[in-house]
Structure 1
């Protein structure tokens, strides 16, 4: 099998790596101590570079690329911990908009591609292990309208979003796949309250409270009670994107740890000369390559429509959580006390990998999901 990037994919990766070199440094990561507005200039640069258009079809003004190109782009951006809501807005938000009606697409996609629309997917809830079918938030059908009541937690980009894609229950009970529906909701609509917060990795999100929020039938994506399949497919795209970004971050953790072992002297020699540390870094390398290979396999299976694509995505997220913890902990240990400080990039990458593991279900949740799909 040919794993070489095409010329177009290589150009995309190179442009992202140049952006990272010019815009990422430890000092910028250290500044993420408080809630800040979206960096409009950086986001506009994403639009000017054409990155916002990567997964969209040409008929919508996009570049007609796909998940492989998204993987290539996000792995490069993950190497620089770029603080931009690409996954929330373009991958997840854009994924839902591509499933929306023609009228909804005409109203939203051009603005997204121009960098003028931010989107967030409101799915996770408190006191529940995350799976889509565990959604309990109520959506009561009243004639041609739907009234939303409930709370969504840990909404990526929820504090900055202009438009929310809300997963709510119009029928059935928590645990049922049937009875779930998707709605586009104006983030500033009456009854929507957002409580912004920072996550462990310095990113921003929000708890979003819905109190008698009324949306019309025209705001629904897909059929009533038929939102599960759409949400599952788009979420799998999001999980692959998160995994690609994390693979980029893990590769930096590995490389920086190896380089540090060559320069840090102890007992009159570089610590990389000690065999026990060589073994530990070899284990890091193996975990890294296993994760990268599984990411590529899961992405290809999804692109090619294999029957076990969903199983591969769950396996990828489970592997990412376990390998990420292994690589992160070893990086901290080998760097010693310095690895825990804000002065080195190591700690910032560890926080990001830790944060990603908890998004949309951790390693244990996806390991169980993979077992159920066997």
Structure 2
């Protein structure tokens, strides 16, 4: 188990921390939200992150990537979570690039990866079709008529779906919703005729979209991996997504905790610091222990990805379930300890509370991952 980062990973984390504190504070996310920015993130900030090599951290070297590993990427995502940073890193690199790396053709990788490295192209994975994350429930139909393929149906909660240049769409080419077999992945341009994109303004300012496919025609060359065997590609992608989202959430949790502790040291009632109240000290101690538990689980899961461990799926569900619960706990406690103003939009704590609620649903909530964890162990 990797309990600490090595020197290079710590340096990357410190670099990301300093850069994001200066160029992407929470105030930047507020402005994007209040302005109803059409892109949903700062193109200039993304360009700067690309120049720092952030977009290429886990991409293979043969396509211009750094192949630095997921522990390094997780460190960056944690800092982004601290600042509620808006960027296409998660959707384009963690989800989109992973799908192409694990299942795409050589032509697809050669065409897309260099553009990702240069920040000239963005991706989005269209998977969910209902309120909760249930990949096997995929019903969007991929109809096969000789060499002609057509997509029909709708996807919801597509991360950065309104701005992505290309969409990786999870479809059902055979069987019925709930079957593992019969799922296929396809790569389509967002501007393809028949695709309707409706942006969803999430309460936490995160970018998402509803995407409807109206008899969209594609070619066999746009398939990602073998037809009907998409889950073999998709499951490792979802594991990466769950672990990396847990890393981002861990950053938000730590920031909320740090701000709350500082407030307890400053706020006075009855002429004493409220941090001296034993009941609040006990609650803070519980939060601290939960956060350290989550940190261990996230680092262990990220290391499992780098080491190509056979139990990545177990560690992914463990990390996501723990972090889901912890973010809810810490954000709730932070609001209570800040008093009535904790929930107001004026105070940043309320923003993290909203981010917690949305992030919990991305890549599966705690119920989903506890059930999956038990199933993987044979229960």
Q: Same fold (TM over 0.5)?
A: yes
Query: Structure 1: 5+ residue runs without aligned partners?
Result: none
Q: Give 3-state SS (helix, strand or coil) of 1:342's partner.
A: coil
Question: In the TM superposition, what whole-angstrom CA distance separates every residue of 1:208-259 from its partner, at most 9, and x where no partner exists?
Answer: 0000101110001110101101111011111111110110110001111000
Aligned pairs, number: 373
The alpha carbon displacement at 1:55 in A equals 0.6
Corresponding position: 1:282 with 2:285: yes
- Whole-angstrom CA distance in 2 between matches of 1:262 and 1:11: 30
1:109 aligns with 2:113: yes
Structure 1 equivalent of residue 337 of structure 2: 334
- Other-structure match for 1:137: 140
Within 5 Å, give how 1:68-217 maps onto structure 2. Answer: 68-99=71-102, 100-126=104-130, 129-217=132-220
The alpha-carbon distance between structure 1 residues 319 and 224, as it changes in their structure 2 partners (threshold 3 A), is: same
Q: CA deviation at 1:35?
A: 4.2
* Cα separation, 1, equivalents of 2:28 and 2:43: 16
CA distance in 2, matches of 1:321, 1:2: 21
- 2:144 aligned counterpart, secondary structure: strand
1:266 maps to 269
Partner of 2:325: 322
Partner of residue 366, structure 2: 363
User: In the TM superposition, what whole-angstrom CA distance separates every residue of 1:28-86 from its partner, at most 9, and x where no partner exists?
Assistant: 33321324324211111111111111011110100011211111111122111111121
Within 1, Cα distance between the matches of 2:279 and 2:205?
Answer: 33
CA contact (8 A) 2:95 2:237 kept: yes
Alpha carbons 1:339, 1:347 under 8 Å: kept: yes
- 1:366 and 1:300 mapped to 2: Cα distance? 19
3-state SS, counterpart of residue 83 of structure 2 = coil
- What's the counterpart of residue 233 of structure 1? 236
Q: Structure 1 residues 203, 223: closer, same or farther in 2, change over 3 A?
A: same
Contact 1:20 1:79 in 2 (8 A): no
**1 CA distance for matches of 2:163 and 2:122?**
7
Distance (Å, rounded) in 2 between the aligned partners of 1:72 and 1:296: 9
Q: CA RMSD in A?
A: 1.4
Residue 15 of structure 2 corresponds to residue 15 of structure 1: yes
Please give the TM-score of this superposition, normalised by the length of structure 1: 0.96
Contact 1:55–1:64 under 8 Å retained in 2: yes
The 2-side partners of 1:264 and 1:214 are apart by 61
CA deviations over 1:162-197 (Å, ceiling 9, x no partner): 100000000111111100000001100000000011
Aligned to 2:300: 297
Would the aligned equivalents of 2:181 and 2:231 in 1 still touch at CA under 8 Å?
A: yes
- CA distance in 1 between partners of 2:224 and 2:177 (Å): 20
| Separation in structure 1 between the aligned mates of residue 301 and residue 122 of structure 2, nearest angstrom | 28
5+ unaligned residues in a row in structure 2: which ranges?
none
Kept in 1, the 8 Å contact 2:2–2:303? The answer is no
Contact 2:253 2:326 in 1 (8 A): no
Q: Distance in 2 between matches of 1:49 and 1:110?
A: 15
Residues 120 and 155 in structure 1, CA contact (< 8 A), matched pair in contact too: yes
State the 1:26 CA deviation: 4.0
Distance 1:287 1:175 in 2: 34
Question: Partners in 2 of 1:252 and 1:360 — Cα distance?
Answer: 22
- In 1, the alpha carbon distance for the partners of 2:29 and 2:73 equals 24
Counterpart of 1:36 in structure 2 is 38
**Structure 1 runs, 4 residues or longer, greater than 4 Å off:** none
SS in 1 for 2:254: helix
Between the aligned partners of 2:60 and 2:294, the Cα distance in structure 1 is 29
**Secondary structure of the equivalent of 1:98?**
helix
Confirm whether residue 49 of structure 1 aligns to residue 89 of structure 2: no
Match of 1:3 in 2: 3
Q: Is the 8 A contact 2:4 2:299 kept in 1?
A: no
Report the more deviating stretch, 284-293 or 307-316. Answer: 307-316
